[in-house]
């Protein structure tokens, strides 16, 4: 029985690689996709950029903190210069201003990344604020109370148009529920007592019928509460790789601090010996320092992490931690449930094979008759096949004194008694026993055909009329379109796919071969699944899986990336570290791509940031010692026209590159599923070599512009 009104999302395939545009990262834009620069978010981010100037907040980011201290220092020196009426106010004022801009741009990037989540959290809060609940007291009376007063174990009644007051479990009744506030999906879903579809989420709305709900969460601990804090990033903790990267750029910052600090005594020696020029001023040294320290990655690092989480969110997946998203990029083994992920979920009739002496039409006729009343997808597919291949139309059978025989666990057959004939279809063994019991003969040929179908991974259904076996229906699991290509891409990325199925090994092997997965686990029990995960992990591999049932919970908890389906049980959702609000198991593949993209973006901008320094040295060093060592002007290969302009241009470039790369940080760099070697070659070329070369023309252009505007 289908328990969901909602069409399973898994039928909708999203190609991993679209055309060459910006979504070529293989990630379809989710439902929550918004333009990158949404005006309200930008406005809010602009304000936040200034709030984030608070040194106590900024101290968490060592690179930007150094820039802010530099900005303060240059500002103080600027006022001293103005007060003393010295020359060079224009230059100093511009340096100070651009240093402040550098900090603001970094703050803006972070605020933009946070903005989308904050806007979403506000919406969620609205639904939460003033819900009421009909509490059923132990005496059996219904009392209206505030949702906030509900505790674990309370029982509530929810009727049409009621907001379900808190997370809970349906203990009585069945209702259609609108969960769009959580999933963004407007089609209602069915919630009923018992089984895997009994969990309801606070904040969702009952559309029809009624349910009694036992509350399972105390206030503040509900799914909605967690979701708000997650999308808002309130509890955002730095991920392990982000921490390591922070240490590295902090270390580089110190090295450059040493290089700039010692430059003053070096300069003193040089100036004394050359007897010309002066030791570079503090403002110039601060400018050099800011240009050298990795401000680009330092300013964008947290934005990249937040945006990565947000991208997962846009795919309607709720990641419980950034660590899980990061781990997704590292996954070595993907465990995919066969049904719903790899195959369409239902077996379909693909062929009718009659025994000798029976025509195809005869068999098709019997098969169709036996299935007309069979509402299972398999039954429907038989009717469809009979119609498509043999031109048999559906018949009105109520007039013919027909009696339907439903499937039962005892007989393991279904069928119809029709115009005096007993037509049955069922598993080989069942039909065989049935015919022999009636005194008939079960031909060896039927067994051979059935075995042949089993060997190819199909399911044989034998059709009989009275004492005669007519032939065999070949039911087959249909692999979704495009899966083969996706698994090939996975392999290219070094990810092994393992299909998990309850089928027997023969069937599993055939489907595995057809779908192109690397391995399969047949007749899998939840324990087998858990053992497989542990075995993979013992070999040092990271494992990702999806699951929905309560019995998936241990495996979900053990997996490095466990994606629970939102339609699943509360236990599954608690055990996993992500919840897919669309309940689409195929999405695991996209989550992996997002994780990879997040890491690549970090690496690319780090490389770019460090590579940029080469050009800045060529701009600033000759400018610093223009008077002391005029010969050094020969390394001013950009031909920057004055020392002030050279320094200012480098500082301006350094600030602008942050803002220019905000879209890259928020959207992530393009990602294509390629082998590591190919990816590395491409990214090293673009961000490494590109990072060395790009600043030269840019700084040159800024220098010309400053000259034209008489700013330096």
Partner 1 sequence: MTPNGWLQIALFFVLIIACAKPLGKFIAEVMEGRRTFLTGLLGPVERLVYRLCGVTLDPEGKPEEQHWTRYAGALLAFSAFSALLLYAFQRLQGWLPFNPQGLNQNNVSPDLAFNTSVSFTTNTNWQSYVPETTLSYFVQMAGMTVHNFLSAAAGLGIAMALVRGFARQSVQTIGNFWADLTRATLYILLPISVVAALFFCSQGVIQNLNGYETATTLEGPRQTIAQGPVASQEAIKMLGTNGGGFFNANSAHPYENPTPLSNLAQMFLIFLIPGALTYTFGIMVRDTKQGWALFGAMSVLWFAGVLTAYNFEQAGTPVLSKAGVELSPTGEQSGGNMEGKETRFGIANTALFATVTTDASCGAVNGMHDSFTPLGGLVPLFNIQLGEVVFGGVGAGLYGMLMFAILAVFIAGLMVGRTPEYLGKKIEKKEVKMAMIAMLVLAAAILFFTAAGSVAEFAKNGYWNPQGPATANLNNPGAHGFAEILYAYTSGTGNNGSAFAGISANTPWYNLTIGLAMLIGRFLMVLPLLAIASSLAAKRQVPASAGTFPTHGPLFVGLLVGVVVIVGALTYFPALSLGPLVEHLML
Among 261, 276, 627, 701, binds partner 1 (CB under 8 A): 261
Count the site residues for partner 1 by CB under 8 A: 75
Residue with tokens 């942050």: 658
Query: Least distance in Å: CB of 699 to partner 1?
Result: 16
3-state secondary structure at position 57: helix
Task: Determine if 62 is a binding residue for partner 1 (CB under 8 A).
Answer: no
Query: Least distance in Å: CB of 254 to partner 1?
Result: 6
Using the contact rule CB under 8 A, the part of the chain among 73-81, 203-211, 251-259, 403-411 near partner 1 is 251-259
Residues 21-40 that bind partner 1 (CB under 8 A): none
Q: Which is nearer to partner 1, 179 or 560 (CB)?
A: 560
Residues 595 and 577: their CA atoms lie apart, in Å, by: 14
Q: Which is nearer to partner 1, 186 or 262 (CB)?
A: 262
Residues 1 and 269: their CA atoms lie apart, in Å, by: 87
Residues 632-651 that bind partner 1 (CB under 8 A): 632, 634-635
* Count of other CB atoms within 10 angstroms of residue 329: 22
Query: Least distance in Å: CB of 196 to partner 1?
Result: 34
Q: Which is nearer to partner 1, 187 or 255 (CB)?
A: 255
Cα→Cα distances 703→291, 413, 646, 707, Å: 15, 85, 6, 6
Query: Least distance in Å: CB of 624 to partner 1?
Result: 8
Phi/psi for 646 (5° steps) reads -65, -50
User: Smallest Cα–Cα separation from 647: which of 296, 271, 288, 267?
Assistant: 288
Cα→Cα distances 700→69, 637, 693, 703, Å: 28, 10, 12, 5
Among 384, 509, 680, 711, binds partner 1 (CB under 8 A): 680
Query: Least distance in Å: CB of 645 to partner 1?
Result: 19
x/- track of binding to partner 1 for residues 464-493 (CB under 8 A): ---------------------------xxx
Task: Determine if 558 is a binding residue for partner 1 (CB under 8 A).
Answer: no
330: enclosing H helix or E strand:
helix 322-330
Q: Which is nearer to partner 1, 264 or 701 (CB)?
A: 264
Task: Determine if 329 is a binding residue for partner 1 (CB under 8 A).
Answer: yes
Residue with tokens 């070659």: 681
Among 683, 694, 700, 703, binds partner 1 (CB under 8 A): 683
Residues 112 and 29: their CA atoms lie apart, in Å, by: 18
Among 443, 688, 690, 707, binds partner 1 (CB under 8 A): 688
Residues 180-219 that bind partner 1 (CB under 8 A): none
Residues 264-323 that bind partner 1 (CB under 8 A): 264-270, 273-274, 292
- Cα atoms in the Cβ-side hemisphere of radius 13 Å centred on 201: 28
Residues 487-526 that bind partner 1 (CB under 8 A): 491-496
Burial status of residue 692 (CB atoms within 10 A of its CB: 0-12, 13-18, 19 or more) = middle
Residues 131 and 145: their CA atoms lie apart, in Å, by: 9
3-state secondary structure at position 189: strand
Q: Which is nearer to partner 1, 625 or 700 (CB)?
A: 625
Q: Which is nearer to partner 1, 299 or 673 (CB)?
A: 673
Query: Least distance in Å: CB of 601 to partner 1?
Result: 8
Query: Least distance in Å: CB of 599 to partner 1?
Result: 5
Residues 574-633 that bind partner 1 (CB under 8 A): 595-597, 599-600, 602-604, 606-607, 610-611, 613-614, 617, 621, 625, 629, 631-632
Q: Which is nearer to partner 1, 12 or 689 (CB)?
A: 689
Catalytic-residue membership of 528: no
The catalytic position among 154, 225, 337, 580 is 337
User: Smallest Cα–Cα separation from 670: which of 601, 617, 584, 590?
Assistant: 601
User: Smallest Cα–Cα separation from 116: which of 213, 47, 44?
Assistant: 44
Among 679, 693, 705, 711, binds partner 1 (CB under 8 A): 679
Structure tokens at 170: 């349906």
Instruction: Find out whether 245 and 224 touch, Cβ atoms under 8 Å.
Output: no
Query: Least distance in Å: CB of 312 to partner 1?
Result: 15
* Count of other CB atoms within 10 angstroms of residue 254: 13
Instruction: Find out whether 319 and 577 touch, Cβ atoms under 8 Å.
Output: yes
The torsion of the CA quartet 233, 237, 241, 247, rounded to 10 degrees, works out to 120
| Residues identified as active-site | 337
């Amino acid at each position: 029985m289908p328990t969901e009104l909602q069409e399973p999302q898994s039928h909708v395939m999203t190609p991993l690689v679209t055309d060459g545009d910006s979504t070529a990262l293989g990630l379809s834009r989710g439902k929550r996709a918004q333009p990158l620069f949404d005006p309200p978010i930008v406005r809010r981010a602009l304000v936040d950029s200034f709030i984030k100037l608070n040194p106590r907040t900024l101290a968490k980011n060592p690179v930007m903190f150094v820039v802010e201290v530099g900005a303060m220092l240059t500002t103080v020196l600027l006022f001293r210069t103005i007060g003393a009426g010295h020359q060079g106010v224009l230059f100093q004022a511009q340096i100070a201003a651009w240093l402040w801009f550098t900090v603001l741009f970094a703050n803006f990037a972070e605020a933009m990344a946070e903005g989308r989540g904050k806007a979403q959290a506000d919406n969620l809060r609205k639904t939460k604020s003033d819900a009421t609940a009909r509490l059923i007291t132990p005496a059996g009376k219904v009392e209206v109370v505030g949702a906030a007063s509900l505790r674990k174990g309370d029982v509530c009644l929810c009727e049409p148009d009621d907001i379900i007051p808190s997370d809970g479990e349906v203990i009585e009744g069945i209702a259609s529920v609108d969960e769009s506030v959580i999933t963004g999906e407007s089609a209602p879903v069915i919630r009923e007592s018992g089984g895997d579809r009994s969990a309801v989420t606070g904040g969702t709305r009952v559309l029809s019928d009624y349910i009694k709900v036992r509350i399972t969460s105390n206030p503040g601990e509900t799914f909605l509460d967690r979701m708000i804090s997650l999308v808002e990033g309130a509890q955002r903790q730095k991920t392990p790789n982000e921490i390591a990267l922070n240490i590295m750029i902090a270390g580089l910052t110190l090295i450059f601090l040493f290089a700039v600090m010692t430059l003053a005594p070096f300069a003193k020696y040089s100036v004394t010996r050359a007897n010309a020029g002066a030791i570079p001023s503090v403002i110039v040294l601060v400018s050099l320092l800011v240009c050298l320290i990795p401000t680009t990655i330092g300013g964008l690092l947290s934005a990249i992490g937040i945006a990565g989480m947000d991208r997962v969110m846009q795919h309607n997946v709720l990641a419980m931690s950034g660590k899980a998203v990061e781990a997704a990029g590292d996954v070595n083994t993907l465990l995919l449930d066969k049904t719903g992920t790899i195959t369409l979920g239902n077996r379909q009739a693909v062929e009718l094979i009659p025994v000798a002496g029976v025509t195809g039409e005869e068999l098709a006729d019997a098969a169709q008759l036996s299935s007309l009343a069979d509402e299972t997808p398999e039954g429907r597919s038989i009717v469809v096949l009979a119609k498509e291949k043999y031109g048999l139309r559906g018949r009105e059978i109520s007039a013919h004194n027909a009696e339907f025989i439903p499937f039962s666990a005892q007989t393991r057959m279904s069928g119809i008694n029709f115009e005096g004939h007993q037509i049955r279809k069922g598993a080989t063994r069942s039909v065989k026993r049935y015919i022999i019991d009636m005194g008939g003969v079960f031909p060896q040929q039927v067994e051979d055909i059935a075995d042949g179908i089993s060997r190819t991974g199909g399911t044989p259904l034998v059709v009989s009329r009275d004492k005669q076996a007519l032939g065999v229906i070949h039911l087959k699991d249909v692999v979704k379109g495009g899966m083969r290509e996706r698994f090939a891409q996975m392999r290219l990325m070094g990810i092994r796919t393992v299909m998990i199925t309850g089928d027997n090994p023969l069937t599993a092997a055939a489907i595995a071969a057809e779908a192109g997965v690397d391995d399969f686990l047949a007749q899998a029990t939840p324990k087998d699944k858990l053992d497989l995960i542990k075995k993979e992990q013992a070999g040092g591999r990271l494992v990702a899986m999806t699951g929905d049932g309560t019995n998936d919970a241990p495996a979900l908890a053990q997996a490095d990336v466990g994606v629970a389906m939102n339609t699943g049980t509360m236990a599954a959702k608690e055990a996993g570290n992500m919840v897919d609000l669309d309940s689409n198991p195929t999405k695991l593949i996209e989550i992996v791509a997002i994780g990879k993209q997040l890491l690549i973006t970090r690496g690319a901008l780090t490389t770019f940031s460090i590579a940029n320094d080469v050009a800045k040295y060529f701009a600033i060093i000759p400018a610093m010692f223009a008077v002391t060592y005029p010969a050094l002007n020969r390394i001013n290969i950009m031909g920057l026209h004055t020392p002030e302009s050279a320094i200012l241009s480098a500082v301006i470039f350094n600030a602008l590159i942050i803002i220019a790369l905000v879209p890259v940080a928020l959207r992530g760099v393009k990602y294509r599923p390629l082998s590591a070697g190919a990816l590395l070659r491409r990214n090293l070329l673009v961000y490494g070599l590109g990072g060395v070369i790009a600043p030269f023309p840019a700084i040159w252009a800024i220098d010309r512009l400053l000259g034209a505007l008489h700013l330096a």
